[in-house]
Structure 1
Amino acid sequence: MAVAARRRADMVEETRAKLIEAARKAFAAKGYAGASMDDLTAEAGLTRGALYHNFGDKKGLLQAVIDQLDAEMLVRMGEAKEQADTRWLGFLSESVAYIEMALEPEIQRIMLLDGPAVLGDPSQWPNQNACLRTTTQTIQALIDEGTIGPVNAEAAARLLNGAALNAALWIAAADDPRAVFGKAVGAFRQLATGLLNKSTGES
């Protein structure tokens, strides 16, 4: 019985993975509105019924694609953070890495343009809540070690996360994303460094 259950679970996971892969390609190439459910289920070699069973509807499938993209982005942000010499520089590197990913066409279209249009305000998405908790913990650690001056950690985290998210949205919607990226990162760094204790020498 356990073997049969495991096999069923594997088949469900395989079906989900196929649908997410097909949807990710279709959403990136055609946009959410332009990608038909018939086309993407055919691409995956599955039926509409499989889509409805696993994700409820096309909107649920978009959420699953965004969740996958978000997980990949978190890994890349973590790698940027790990390469830094200090906690503060790691925080800055992580934030800039997030903003820079808004230059990538797939992330632009799915995560930053179609995502908010279909799923609503991205600052209210579950992944943003998790990100806020992590940023709050990092800010608190920076306060505790004296790198950042006395400030409410959650308030600072909300403002900085909001700045990074809005920078990414601005880049994605811009006619010249690369030019906007330079402006956004420069302003973000200046905003963030305003939190530093002037005696730390960090920048």
Structure 2
Amino acid sequence: MRKNKVETEQTIRNLINIARHHFTEYGYVNTALEEIVKEAGLTRGAVYHHFRNKKGLFLAVFEAIQQEIGEYVETAAAKSNHSWDQLINGCQAFLEGAAASHNQRILLIDGPAVLGWDTFRKMDEKYSMNSLREQLQLMQEQHLIQPVSTEALTHCLSGAMNEVVLWIADHLEQKDAIEDAMNVLRLLLDGVRK
């Protein structure tokens, strides 16, 4: 029984990895499910069994990327013991991860279009905003930020970062654009700093 579970998990990971490559390379519309199952050595039925349809497979890929970026943000934030630096490091890591060329099409173009705004926001809430909210609440408890609504502050910062990622993605020199965005984010955050 345990071997079947391990094999199933491996099959799902394999499908997600292959699909991620196809969705990144060709976009959602131009990705053929037949090509993914052929490359995976499976049948369409196997994909339908695990993901129901192409959109379900795309959602799994989208969620895997969101999870990776969330882990990248956590790792970057943990490089400091100071809450303020953790926030700054986490913001920069989010911009870098979301604007990375291998994530752009899935996260920024196809994600909102294919999944719809509600699902997109739920994934953002689950993998990005919750961590940001926790950090801001901690900082408020430490009296590092003004006594403002952490819920409102979380939404303001998240919205700003999501929008600036789109701006960064349009630049050839993304490193410079991220640096410019971080300079502005630091100034914005200084406004709530105690």
- The answer, yes or no, to whether TM exceeds 0.5 is yes
Instruction: Answer yes or no: is 1:20 the counterpart of 2:16.
Output: yes
Whole-Å separation in 1 of the counterparts to 2:114 and 2:37:
20
Quote how far apart the aligned CAs of 1:177 are.
Answer: 5.8
Shift of 1:191: 1.3
The reply to whether residue 159 of structure 1 matches residue 151 of structure 2 is no
The whole-number CA distance in structure 2 between the counterparts of 1:110 and 1:126 is 13
Give the Cα–Cα distance (whole angstroms) in 2 for the partners of residues 130 and 118 of structure 1. Answer: 18
Correspondences of 1:75-114 after superposition (within 5 Å):
75-114=71-110
Q: Report if the CA contact (8 A) 1:167-1:184 is conserved.
A: yes
Please state how far the C-alpha of 1:85 moved relative to its aligned partner. Answer: 4.0
1:11 to 4, 7, 12: 7
Candidates 31, 34, 40, aligned match of 1:35: 31
How many residue pairs were aligned? Answer: 192
TM-score, normalised by the number of residues in structure 1 = 0.86
CA–CA distance in 2 between the matches of 1:99 and 1:134? 15
Flag structure 2 segments of 5+ consecutive residues without an equivalent. none
Task: Select which of 46, 49, 54 maps to 2:50.
Answer: 54
Kept in 1, the 8 Å contact 2:69–2:98? The answer is no
2:115 corresponds to which letter in structure 1? L
Cα 1:162/1:54, change in 2 over 3 Å: same
Shift of 1:88: 0.9
4+ long deviations beyond 4 Å: none
Aligned-pair Cα RMSD in Å? 1.9
Q: CA deviation at 1:41?
A: 0.9
- 3-state SS, counterpart of residue 192 of structure 2: coil
Aligned counterpart, 1:135: 132
Render the CA deviation track for 1:4-41: whole Å, top value 9, x for unaligned.
x3233223212211211110111111111121111111
| Equivalent position to 2:62, from 60, 66, 78 | 66
Based on CA coordinates, which of the two structures has the bigger radius of gyration?
1
Q: By how many angstroms is 1:175 displaced?
A: 4.9
Instruction: Pick which of 8-17 and 59-68 moved more.
Output: 8-17
1:102/1:171 contact within 8 Å kept: no
Instruction: Indicate if the aligned counterparts of 1:92 and 1:189 stay in contact, CA closer than 8 A.
Output: yes
Q: CA deviation at 1:182?
A: 3.6
TM-score by length of 2: 0.90
Please give the alpha-carbon distance, in whole angstroms, between the structure 2 residues aligned to 1:86 and 1:108. Answer: 31
SS of the counterpart of 1:34? coil
| Alignment-mate amino acid for residue 158 of structure 1 | H
User: For residues 130 and 102 of structure 1, do their structure 2 counterparts lie closer, same or farther at Cα, with a shift above 3 Å needed?
Assistant: closer
**What's the counterpart of residue 187 of structure 1?**
184
Q: How much has 1:184 moved relative to structure 2?
A: 2.5
SS of the equivalent of 2:76 reads helix
In the alignment, structure 1 residue 117 sits paired with structure 2 residue 110: no
Structure 1 position 168, deviation (Å): 1.5
Question: Contact conserved, 1:113 with 1:169, CA < 8 A, in 2?
Answer: no
